[in-house]
Amino acid sequence: MAITLYDLCGRDERLRFSPYCWRVRMALAHKGLPFETVAWRFLEKDALAFANYDKVPVLCDGEQTVTDSFEIMRYLDKTYPDAPVLGKGASYQRALLFKYIVERSVNPALFRIIAMDLLAAIHPGDRDYFRETREARFGCTLEEFHQPEQGKQELKQALAPVRDLLRDSAFLDGDAPGGVDYLLFGSLMWAYVVSLEVLIESGGPVDVWFKRMLGLHDGMAGKAITIRDL
Amino acid sequence: MAITLYDLCGRDERLRFSPYCWRVRMALAHKGLPFETVAWRFLEKDALAFANYDKVPVLCDGEQTVTDSFEIMRYLDKTYPDAPVLGKGASYQRALLFKYIVERSVNPALFRIIAMDLLAAIHPGDRDYFRETREARFGCTLEEFHQPEQGKQELKQALAPVRDLLRDSAFLDGDAPGGVDYLLFGSLMWAYVVSLEVLIESGGPVDVWFKRMLGLHDGMAGKAITIRDL
């Protein structure tokens, strides 16, 4: 049965940058599951009414509808147990803990670096919505929140443990990539698709890993359209 | 064969506060392995010459000598595979990543809170050594580094993902404690043994978890001598 992923798109329908959707795309590719995407914009709430949800990713697998990126990864492991991404038991719990770490430290740092680039990458019709919801969350304007140098310092600090690990390991999950790689990669891909900012020290262990991730699964992420292509 | 752990002690020989030794004590208890400790002070380098190492923990298991807390946990899993603490494969890698996260974010925050308490808890004969080595590392005096309010803010931020996870889970590793619990607990125990500072919001998920950890394995950590008892 066909798998469909509702996937956030930007001012060009081919521009796909949601960190949460990227996690899922990588997990699907990891399992070798073919899928199609449906480009979705922030204001198209009606298109997701069938899922009783108001944001992406939403995954439709035959009759099954699953929402929330981590729940989708979990669903994929349960339904397609080969090539697990999150795993079970302590392995699963440790991936969940890392998900919270990425969302609490990496994502806010990245947002400070790319806030204005993100606004520019979004469909013009979505920009007022994006500005209002994010400014309410941050308690300041997007222009005030946009502090690339501060964000780069925060990102460097947030990624220090990742750098430690990648000095001796090809992937965060070991010799082969796994769910924890996809969780972090999704966030970095978000910034990479919409922004020309240099996020990571060139040639360092995180940069080498990121390029390795871009090449995975027939270069799926490496072939993605970014603002460099528009 | 008897297991012996060389364990840092303070101004009272019963005061045991090394975060790295606490990890190992908890891992030994987790596996139900009886062990004895040898109280060790910072300047007793000669006592560790047999291990070709200059700090603790050092574990002696019969003829085997193992140094470094994480290597000891790994050794215990290999030698006593029942009740794994780190696990294998992705599970192991995720524990290693969390080790780096604890050491890069939780430990520096705690150090800012307890720097002067730690100095006071150390044996008077070790204090010059401790001051010199730590001041060289920080690039400032211990008095300047000691910033409890700043440390508490940093700790709160560092523990935010832990709080997220513990809202729905008894332990970081799931329904039962595991290596990731011991990695974080060791660090908090370090501060708890030497300081009266309130580290964690009372009654919150992390506080409830910490008390649960104190009660594990016949209350091993809960029965430890702290500065409250001296």
Residues of B in contact with A107 (CB under 8 A): none
Which amino acid does the sequence have at A126? Answer: D
Residue contact A97–B165, C-beta within 8 A: yes
Residue contact B94–A98, C-beta within 8 A: yes
Instruction: Determine which of A91, A98, A184 to mutate to test the interface with B (most B C-beta atoms within 10 Å).
Output: A91
Q: What percent of chain B has pLDDT over 90?
A: 100
Strands B36-40 and B3-8: parallel
Residue contact B94–A96, C-beta within 8 A: no
CB environment A52-87: b (16+ within 10 A), e (fewer) = ebebbbbbbbeeebbbbbbebbbbbbeebeeebbbb
Residue pLDDT, tens place only, A151-172: 999 999 999 999 999 999 999 9
Residues of A in contact with B165 (CB under 8 A): 93, 96-97, 100
Nearest CA in chain A to B162: A97
Residue at a domain's end among A79, A99, A122 = A79
Q: Are residues B54 and B97 part of one domain?
A: no
User: Is the pLDDT assigned to residue B15 strictly greater than 90?
Assistant: yes
Q: Are residues A216 and A124 part of one domain?
A: yes
Number of domains chain B is built from? 2
User: Is the pLDDT assigned to residue B212 strictly greater than 80?
Assistant: yes
Distances (CA, A) of B5 to A18, A63, B47, B51, B92: 49, 57, 12, 12, 23
**Average pLDDT over chain A, rounded to an integer:** 97
User: Is the pLDDT assigned to residue B86 strictly greater than 70?
Assistant: yes
The CATH number of the domain holding residue A121 is 1.20.1050.10
- Number of Cβ within 10 Å of residue B25's Cβ equals 23
Q: Are residues A116 and A42 part of one domain?
A: no
Which domain, by its residues, includes A38? Answer: 3-79
* Average pLDDT of span A47-66: 97
Q: Are residues A95 and A160 part of one domain?
A: yes
Q: Are residues B23 and B137 part of one domain?
A: no
Instruction: State residue A75's pLDDT score.
Output: 98
Q: Are residues A131 and A52 part of one domain?
A: no
Q: Are residues B207 and B117 part of one domain?
A: yes
Residue at a domain's end among B46, B79, B112 = B79
* Average pLDDT of span B201-218: 98
Q: Are residues A53 and A16 part of one domain?
A: yes
* Average pLDDT of span A88-92: 97
Strands B58-61 and B64-67: antiparallel
Residues of B in contact with A93 (CB under 8 A): 165, 169, 172-174, 178, 180
Q: Where residue A1 falls among pLDDT bands split at 50, 70, 90? A: low
Instruction: State residue B1's pLDDT score.
Output: 64
Both tokens of B106, joined, read 């939780």
Q: Are residues B218 and B104 part of one domain?
A: yes
Q: What percent of chain B has pLDDT over 70?
A: 100
What distance in Å separates the CA atoms of residue B11 and residue B23, rounded to the nearest whole number?
21
Q: Which of A90, A95, A96 sits opposite B87 (nearest CB)?
A: A90
- The residues that bridge with A5 in the sheet, in sequence order, are A37, A59
**Average pLDDT over chain B, rounded to an integer:** 97
The CATH number of the domain holding residue B51 is 3.40.30.10
Residue at a domain's end among B79, B113, B131 = B79
Is B76 within 8 Å of B31 (Cβ atoms)? yes
Nearest-CA distance from B230 to chain A in Å?
A: 37
Instruction: State residue B224's pLDDT score.
Output: 98
Q: Are residues A100 and A60 part of one domain?
A: no
